[in-house]
Amino acid sequence: MKKIGIMTTGGDCSGLNSVIYNIMRGAKKRGWAVYGILDGTDGLIPEKPNIIRLDQDVLPQEYSFIAGSFLRNGNNSQNNNFEKAVQTNKVAQFTKQLKKSLAKINLDALILIGGNGSLSLAWQNRDMYSDMQLVCIPKTIDMDIPLTDITIGFDTAVSQLTRFCDDLLLTARSHHRWFVVQSMGRKCGMLALTAGVASGASAILIPEIKFDVDKLVKHIQSSDSDYGIIMVSEGISLRGHSGEPATMISRKLTAAGIANRTAFPEHIQRAGNTTPNDRILASQMAIAALDAIANNETYVMTALQNGEITTVGLDAVVNAGKPSRDPNISGLIISDAIVDDDNPLLIAADEMGIYIGETK
């Protein structure tokens, strides 16, 4: 009987519990035992690793649709983590402890559900997992992981952000006012772009497309409406200005006499019951991860490519995309997926008369 471990790391999102549940369900059919590591790598720091045996009584189906991670993602300030280990120059000791704890658990394989930071760390410290198979499942609302067309949690985040904008639009109309909504996404504008198109925003500003704030102002002033949504990705910058991107844009609009307010949906984007699309993706990637284990694959990530679920090498993932430095872990290079110039949603937004920047 194979012994499988599951760990969720990095920021949470909706869809994690669906993945965990479907791994548990698929593993049971294969006769494999499944254990959850609580609190990510934090759960591997104690002398006695913090793990639980997963079954239907521990994680019933109705819990699989809610947001967050049943296993929790860690970041307990009292425990050590990669960030602290780098700051104190104790990475070797830290990874040694993690490997020792994993040896105690005696896993045949570990399924790591994480974002591009977690995947980059896993590859950088891959010796930690040399005694077992490592299979990763991509999850993030930012959609910034290369080599997969979509990630767990993205569809639900789009739904949450779109609903937020829909509700704001009602009060915007009542008061003849524009709302500058700041989305998450880090350096990738995919969440802002997708929810912006879905909610019929009048303007969408993302990190990948240069914009002229004066042209944005003129676009709003020449609009047929005196209210609406201006979607701003958290990763944009405005030369000569500092602060939250939405606040910077709001100041420019106010200076031009345009009535507006800022709105920050923040972690609402990570919440909400998992959408059907995310549940389906979770089941497909869970089974792909189990198939990878059965096929003796290791250091791979499940991915959706051109409508097909497959696995790709973790080395290929971290070497694809646009490299950037992790803001919290010195020396860690992350590969970011970005919105390409020929993205169909950019074309759709332009055809809808949405200001998306200076694309030509």
Catalytic residue among 39, 142, 144, 278: 142
d(CA 113, CA 111): 6
d(CA 298, CA 132): 8
C-alpha triplet 264, 324, 271: angle, nearest 5°: 30
Is 155 a known active-site residue? no
Can you read off the two tokens belonging to residue 11?
């920021």
Q: Which residues pair with 261 in a beta bridge?
A: 179
Burial 52-87 (b: 16+ CB within 10 A, else e): eebeeeebeeeebbebebbbbbbeeeebbbbeebbe
Q: Which residues pair with 309 in a beta bridge?
A: 304
Phi-psi region of 21 (alpha: psi -120 to 50; beta: other; left: phi over 0): alpha
Catalytic site positions = 142
